Each structure stands twice: as structure tokens, then as C-alpha cells.
Amino acid sequence: MGSHQEAAAAAGVVVRELREIGEFAQVYALFEEIWHPDPRNVPIPVELMIGFAHTGNYVAGAFEGDALVGASVGFLGSGRSLHSHVTGAAIGRGVGYALKCHQRDWCLERGLERITWTFDPLVRRNARFNLVKLGARPEKYLPDFYGIMADKINEGDASDRLLAVWRIGPGSEAVEEPPRRAYPVLWEAEDGRPVAAAGKAAGSVVSVATPADVETLRRTDPEAARAWRTAVRDALGGAMDAGGQVVGFTERGEYLLLIN
């Protein structure tokens, strides 16, 4: 992984920390455009961004000229870590990657060793980005972590999340090669619904499938989206609660876990 300057140049943006009220207002507007939240459920208010930046926490934006096209807000956590609370960016242009690289370099300059954040385990592109592109690893399954989320993306679904941990300290560059063969404990049927294996997993490595596009599914077939939520919570969450370790994510959209 190169520097954040290289990643920003590849995405055609400049990433920098934000300090001014007008910049925080731009972040608020960008997040509103992405999530279309209920006014009582905004990702982060301007006042909190001001407080975070003033007290040495992380508030950064990616600019294409004068236009803000991505932003990330985080706060210092325990054990030399930063918790990345919310990140939003234009999809498919490398802006999110540039922000993460900037966040990593910001942390390394301050002697931090890991970055944590939460993400929806059903959203394939986020899982692939976090596990494959960055090399982060989920360490905990958090059922309905945020409670009801009244926004265009999450509305009508439980807010289950995976806690991702991205280790950036010395020796963290090497990411283990995920196993190539796994016993499926959850897969997708021909009708697009989840199917769970009966009985105990017959192997030390298992795979848990995800829906192709859960965000569209929530609008077109809410019942199927809820079925996926329950099935992944049982299969992935259950395996992790029992000590299973997520070690990869396949091109087919499956989590790979080592089972003790």
C-alpha cells in the first residue's frame, strides 16, 4: 500500500484535514446526499465535527477542485487506536481508498497501531473493500448495533454490524492467504434466498454467503432482505461468537472463517 498522496492522485483528489465551520457544513451536506437521513438520525452533526477537530481527533475531506467528494470522521480510542465513526465518498472512483490511506498515515504519524470501524455484513462491496483491499479483519459481530436507522440506505432493516480492525503498526502489512476450499454453511438458492446447511459444519473452514445487492433488495423484496439478515446473523454471528475467525472474503461474496 502506497502513501495517501499516491492514492489521492490516482483518484484525482486532494485529501486534507478540515478545520473551518464551512468545511464541516460541506461534510454534513455530502453525508445528507449519500444517506438522505431523517433529521433526527444524521450521521454526525456539525457541532460534533467541530468538537472532534478542536480536540485532536480525525476530520478529513477529499476535494476535487473546490467540490467535496468524500469525508471521514473518527475519534481516538483505547489501546493506540482510532475509531473511524463515519466515512462517505463517491463510489467506484478510489476516493474511499484515498481517505483510508490518509487516515492510516495520520494514525502512523501519531503512533497509533490500529483503526476500527463498523460496517454492514450484508453489503458485499464494503466487505470486499475492507477485507481484500485494505486487509482489515472483522473481530466481532454486533446485532442491531445502532438500533433503528431512519435513512434511505438502512431503513426497514436491523442495523447489524461487523467491527472491523485494521492493524497498521509494524509487521501488519502481511495478510494471510485465505483458504481456497471451504464448507458452505450458508449459500444463495436459485430464487435469491438464503439456504443454511443442516447440522454442524463438516470442516475447519466454512463459507457464509451474502446477497448480491442488499440495498436494492430492501426496496424490491423486503422479506428476502430480512431473511438474509437473520440467516447471516445466525451463520456468521453464531460462528464468530463461538470463536470462529474471519480470514477472507471471496469473489463470490462469501465470508471465509476458520472454525476452532
Q: What is the pLDDT of residues 153-195, one digit of tens each?
A: 777 789 999 999 999 987 676 566 667 789 999 999 999 999 9
Predicted pLDDT of residue 208: 97
Query: Does residue 96 lie within any of the structural domains?
Result: yes
Predicted pLDDT of residue 170: 77
Q: Which residues have a Cβ under 8 Å from the Cβ of 147 and sit 6 or more positions away?
A: 159
Query: Does residue 121 lie within any of the structural domains?
Result: yes
Compute CA distances 48 → 54, 59, 63, whole Å. Answer: 10, 10, 21
Tell me whether strands 183-188 and 205-209 are parallel, antiparallel or unpaired. parallel
CA angle 217, 215, 228 (to 5 degrees): 55
Assess whether 137 and 226 both reside in one domain. Answer: no
Assess whether 113 and 238 both reside in one domain. Answer: no
Assess whether 254 and 202 both reside in one domain. Answer: yes
Output b/e per residue, 167-200; b: 16+ Cβ within 10 A. bbeeeeeeeeebbeebebbbbbeeeeebeeeeee
Q: Domain end: 136, 167, 198, which one?
A: 167
* Domains: count for the chain: 2
Contact (Cβ atoms closer than 8 angstroms) between residue 162 and residue 141: yes
Predicted pLDDT of residue 39: 84
In angstroms, the CA 224 to CA 231 distance is 10
CB-based burial label for 241 (10 Å; 0-12, 13-18, 19+):
exposed
Query: Does residue 138 lie within any of the structural domains?
Result: yes
Q: Domain end: 167, 194, 218, which one?
A: 167
- The DSSP symbol for 200 reads S
Query: Does residue 173 lie within any of the structural domains?
Result: no
Q: Which residues have a Cβ under 8 Å from the Cβ of 243 and sit 6 or more positions away?
A: 259, 260
Query: Does residue 177 lie within any of the structural domains?
Result: no
Assess whether 42 and 129 both reside in one domain. Answer: yes
Range of the domain at 196: 183-258
Assess whether 129 and 30 both reside in one domain. Answer: yes
Q: Whose grid coordinates read 480525525?
A: 58
Assess whether 145 and 187 both reside in one domain. Answer: no
Predicted pLDDT of residue 202: 59
Assess whether 87 and 201 both reside in one domain. Answer: no
Residue ranges in the chain modelled with pLDDT below 50: none
Predicted pLDDT of residue 40: 80
Assess whether 125 and 67 both reside in one domain. Answer: yes
Assess whether 106 and 195 both reside in one domain. Answer: no
Predicted pLDDT of residue 203: 67
Predicted pLDDT of residue 236: 97
Predicted pLDDT of residue 179: 72
Assess whether 136 and 213 both reside in one domain. Answer: no
Query: Does residue 157 lie within any of the structural domains?
Result: yes
Q: Which residues have a Cβ under 8 Å from the Cβ of 22 and sit 6 or more positions away?
A: none
Assess whether 156 and 191 both reside in one domain. Answer: no
Q: Domain end: 167, 201, 233, which one?
A: 167
CA angle 196, 140, 71 (to 5 degrees): 110
Q: What is the pTM of this model?
A: 0.91
- Which CATH number characterizes residue 74's domain? 3.40.630.30
Assess whether 152 and 219 both reside in one domain. Answer: no
Task: Please state the length of the chain.
Answer: 260
Q: Whose grid coordinates read 462517505?
A: 88
Query: Does residue 122 lie within any of the structural domains?
Result: yes
Query: Does residue 178 lie within any of the structural domains?
Result: no
